[in-house]
């Protein structure tokens, strides 16, 4: 696999469980030894075998050399264990060959399981909360938000597929000085412009005035500096900035005219977000709004003071000392009694537990906030909330384009809506160039462009380990060759074409002789359930993405070199078509967990 570990070592497939028990018996019989360290790894490609036993840890029990020990264990297993067909020894490694019958039977079991790899959620399954997206209402969603949305949604779907009850939530940052900046700029320079009158999507319109504010703010700072004022002072004294500060105070005082303007502009933004979310293919079970939650944590401060978790300074501000945990002192409440983000996040976390009684909660937030979440989880733990130990920061690296980093207030952000459309348009142009549109209606063709373009975007972002900063290359992401969404989607469409051509129910034979390549594909398929479980445990869609890429590579080689519909017997045709169909099913499930679709024709 691409993270340096292979399918076998990162999963506990059935054969490993069988062998573990049999080797325990073997060690007891041969060497009167129990409780030994039994280690498996995948057999290296240059040796024959499916599973390798590492013999070195067993030498203390055998009191013999590694090769003799391996030979003795190998002979015992070949004689006593039906699943072992043969073995070979390379120094201290025992390479075990597993019978074709075993692998074929494993495939038949998998073939007959619907939604293979996923676990149905039980009524008493623990609830996991996944927070993601959480935008500001002063600007539209941009490229950086895409990684957040794709990660959060995919992690939620993977955890759900692992058998947990999952709820998706977000907190919308709909208050504060940044919101007031857009409001002031629209009020002063907007001439009552609306999404309807301008034809501009609501979130884009409000974002436009956030940029306008910054333009006028910079001009006023420059004018004040030119008149002799220090820059730092000018930044505080600029008239438009003071207006924004005054508006925030009026908002907090619930002045009707300010609240009415705030509600109107937020409505524009929420309508715009809804359109973007629909195209992104993401959804939420509950939205939390900062305008409702920003005071929530203040009552917790009193509890923390009573418990001695927090302490008050002479100026009245409230702090926590985390130096014993290797951190520092952190302010919880300002001297004037106003809350900070940390206070709000404490209150919101507690409110969410009251709402959902979750066992685990993951926050999908960029790695710039690593320190914030360390502090948040520590505080919740010190306040006595047991579930705080099961809070997780899904920290991810930023997304760069070849053109460089983005800045929202300067208007240099790559807008998510524009970027998605660009991806779909690119898919359209490539499909036309490759001649893949013959016989398609415009409606079908447009749906194909959407599936391919969005699939390319999601897969390219999710195949990268979330913790790593990444460079998104649009041209590379939509290539039909290589580790891309379209490469995987094309394999699925190819399989569906096979199924359509056969047009007869597949009947799996009782037994059939399988090739080494078929055995490899079956081994890959049987690892899928464990890959989902590990991806859920590690909050990593990259494990699913790279698993399905490896599966498709295996299948493509098989498809190009093996007759399927023209195999020499009806049993072989049925088996090979069934194997192909199951690969297609796993591709579809894996891509669904990544939030991406797969087309039947391509």
**Where do the domains of the chain lie?**
14-98, 176-275, 416-593
Task: Examine the pLDDT at 581 and tell me if it is beyond 70.
Answer: yes
Angle between helices 442-462 and 143-161 (to 10 degrees): 90
Angle between helices 239-252 and 256-280 (to 10 degrees): 90
Task: Examine the pLDDT at 236 and tell me if it is beyond 90.
Answer: yes
The answer to whether 377 and 327 have CB atoms below 8 angstroms apart is no
Angle at 338 between CA 335 and CA 344, to 5 degrees: 125
State the number of CA atoms in the 13 A half-sphere of 579 facing the CB: 35
Q: How confident is the model at residue 503 (pLDDT cuts 50, 70, 90)?
A: confident
Q: How confident is the model at residue 403 (pLDDT cuts 50, 70, 90)?
A: low
* Dist CA 465 CA 2 (whole Å): 10
256-270, 428-442, 480-494: range with lowest mean pLDDT: 428-442
Q: Residue 172: in which H helix or E strand, if any?
A: strand 165-172
Please name the fold of domain 14-98: Gyrase A; domain 2 (3.30.1360)
Q: Report the pLDDT averaged over residues 358-384.
A: 96
Measuring CA to CA, how many Å separate 166 from each of 154, 351, 357, 418, 588?
12, 17, 12, 31, 21
Architecture per CATH, domain 416-593, reads as Orthogonal Bundle (1.10)
Q: Report the pLDDT averaged over residues 136-159.
A: 93
Q: 425: alpha, beta or left, given left = phi > 0 and alpha = psi -120 to 50?
A: alpha
Task: Examine the pLDDT at 271 and tell me if it is beyond 80.
Answer: yes
State the pairing for strand pair 391-396/360-366.
parallel
Return the pLDDT at 70. 97
38-47, 404-413, 554-563, 572-581: range with lowest mean pLDDT: 404-413
Return the pLDDT at 8. 46
Return the pLDDT at 336. 87
Return the pLDDT at 433. 80
* Dist CA 55 CA 73 (whole Å): 9
Return the pLDDT at 409. 46
State the pairing for strand pair 51-54/39-42.
antiparallel
Contact partners, residue 410, CB within 8 Å, separation at least 6: 211, 214
Return the pLDDT at 16. 86
- How much is the pTM? 0.91
Return the pLDDT at 1. 33
Return the pLDDT at 404. 53
Return the pLDDT at 408. 41
**Closest to 243 in 3D by CA, of 338, 175, 177, 173:** 177
Of residues 548 and 413, which shows the higher confidence score? 548
Residue 28 corresponds to which tokens in the numbers above?
A: 């007891």
Mean pLDDT of the chain: 92
Phi, psi of 320 (to 5 degrees): -130, 140
Return the pLDDT at 5. 38
């Amino acid at each position: 696999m691409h993270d340096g570990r292979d399918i076998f070592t990162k999963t506990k497939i059935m054969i490993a469980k069988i062998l573990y028990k049999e080797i325990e018996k073997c060690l007891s019989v041969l060497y009167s030894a129990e409780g030994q360290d039994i280690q498996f790894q995948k057999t290296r490609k240059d040796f024959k075998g499916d599973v390798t036993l590492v013999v070195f840890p067993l030498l203390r029990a055998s009191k013999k050399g590694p090769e003799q020990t391996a030979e003795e264990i190998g002979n015992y297993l070949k004689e006593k264990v039906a699943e072992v067909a043969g073995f070979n020894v390379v120094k201290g490694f025992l390479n075990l060959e597993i019978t074709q019958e075993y692998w074929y039977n494993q495939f038949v079991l998998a073939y007959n399981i619907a939604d293979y790899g996923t676990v149905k959620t039980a009524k008493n399954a623990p609830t996991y909360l996944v927070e993601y997206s959480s935008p500001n209402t002063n600007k539209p969603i941009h490229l950086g938000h895409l990684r957040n949305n794709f990660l959060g949604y995919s992690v939620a779907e993977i955890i759900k597929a692992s058998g947990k009850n999952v709820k998706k939530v977000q907190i919308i940052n709909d208050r504060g000085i940044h919101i007031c900046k857009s409001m002031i700029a629209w009020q002063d320079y907007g001439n009552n412009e609306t999404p309807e009158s301008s034809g501009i999507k609501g979130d884009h319109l409000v974002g436009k005035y956030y940029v306008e504010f910054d333009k006028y703010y910079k001009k006023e700072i420059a004018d004040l500096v030119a008149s002799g004022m220090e820059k730092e002072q000018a930044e505080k004294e600029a008239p438009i900035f003071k207006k924004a500060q005054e508006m925030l105070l009026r908002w907090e005082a619930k002045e009707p005219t300010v609240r009415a303007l705030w509600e109107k502009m937020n409505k524009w933004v929420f309508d715009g977000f809804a359109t973007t979310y629909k195209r992104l293919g993401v959804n939420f079970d509950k939205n939390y709004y900062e305008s409702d939650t920003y005071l929530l944590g203040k009552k917790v401060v009193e509890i923390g003071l009573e418990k001695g978790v927090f302490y008050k300074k002479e100026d009245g501000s409230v702090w926590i000392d985390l130096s014993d945990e290797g951190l520092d002192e952190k302010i919880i409440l300002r001297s004037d009694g106003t809350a900070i983000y940390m206070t709000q996040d404490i209150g919101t976390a507690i409110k969410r537990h009251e709402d959902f009684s979750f066992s685990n909660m993951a926050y999908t937030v960029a790695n710039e906030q690593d320190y914030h979440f360390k502090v948040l989880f520590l505080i919740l733990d010190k306040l006595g909330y047991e579930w705080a130990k099961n809070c997780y920061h899904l920290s991810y690296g930023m997304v760069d384009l070849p053109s460089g980093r983005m800045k929202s207030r300067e208007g240099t952000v790559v807008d998510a809506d524009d970027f998605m459309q660009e991806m779909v348009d690119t898919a359209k142009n490539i499909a036309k160039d490759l001649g893949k549109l013959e016989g398609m209606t415009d409606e079908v063709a447009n749906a194909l462009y959407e599936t391919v373009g969005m699939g390319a975007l999601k897969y390219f972002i999710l195949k990268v380990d979330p913790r790593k900063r990444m460079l998104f290359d649009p041209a590379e992401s939509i290539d039909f060759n290589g580790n891309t969404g379209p490469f995987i989607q094309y394999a699925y469409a190819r399989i569906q074409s096979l199924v359509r051509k056969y047009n007869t129910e597949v009947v799996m034979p009782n037994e059939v002789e399988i090739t080494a390549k078929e055995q490899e594909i079956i081994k890959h398929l049987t690892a899928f359930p464990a890959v989902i479980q590990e991806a859920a445990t590690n909050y990593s869609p990259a494990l699913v993405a790279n698993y399905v890429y490896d599966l498709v590579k295996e299948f493509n080689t098989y498809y190009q070199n093996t007759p399927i519909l023209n195999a020499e017997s009806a049993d072989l045709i049925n088996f090979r078509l069934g194997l192909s169909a199951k690969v297609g099913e796993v591709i579809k499930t894996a891509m669904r967990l990544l939030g991406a679709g797969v087309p039947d024709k391509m």
